[in-house]
């Protein structure tokens, strides 16, 4: 027997039979309980490490998706702003075309009215045409024709 074993037996002998029985029970209890206890502790530690790894991967995926979502939102905002700008320019262009067409129509109507008035006056049984009527007609037509030419040029410039 080894010297250590002899020393343990001598200490147990001082305890008596009850101490020996208690020591044997304690030995078997510790021999069967401690390995399963430490085995369970090791499993729990491994599970915690696995959960930490899984949580880290989940957070990485969430962060990546959040980045992608933010990029998509940014692209959507840029596209929306581009669309708004294009729509605004098209609406402004359409307003300009409409205004030019309305102005041209007004000037054509004014010129037509001036011509019709002079022609109607000439068709009466007793024409009341005087030199002042021709001067007034000429003055109106000079103003109208210069505007008509300008509006035609403006409308032609709008045409692609």
User: Which residues lie closer than 8 Å to 128 by C-beta, 6 or more apart?
Assistant: 121
What would the pLDDT profile of 66-119 be if each residue is shown by its tens digit?
Answer: 999 999 999 999 999 999 999 999 999 888 888 888 888 888 898 888 888 888
pLDDT attached to residue 66: 94
* CB atoms closer than 10 angstroms to residue 51: 10
What is the distance, to the nearest Å, from the Cα of residue 102 to the centroid of all Cα atoms in its chain? 40
């Amino acid at each position: 027997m080894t010297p250590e074993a002899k020393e343990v037996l001598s200490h147990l002998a001082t305890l008596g039979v009850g101490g020996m029985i208690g020591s044997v029970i304690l030995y078997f209890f510790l021999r069967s309980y401690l390995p399963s206890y430490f085995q369970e502790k090791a499993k729990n530690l491994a599970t915690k490490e696995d959960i930490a790894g899984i949580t880290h991967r989940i957070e990485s995926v969430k962060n990546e998706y959040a980045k992608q979502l933010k990029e998509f939102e940014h692209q959507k905002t840029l596209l929306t702003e581009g669309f708004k700008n294009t729509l605004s320019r098209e609406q402004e262009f359409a307003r300009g075309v409409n205004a030019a067409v309305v102005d041209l129509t007004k000037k054509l109507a004014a010129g037509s009215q001036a011509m019709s008035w002079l022609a109607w006056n000439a068709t009466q049984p007793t024409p009341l045409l005087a030199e002042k009527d021709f001067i007034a007609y000429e003055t109106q037509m000079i103003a109208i024709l210069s505007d008509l030419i300008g509006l035609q040029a403006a409308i032609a410039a709008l045409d692609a």
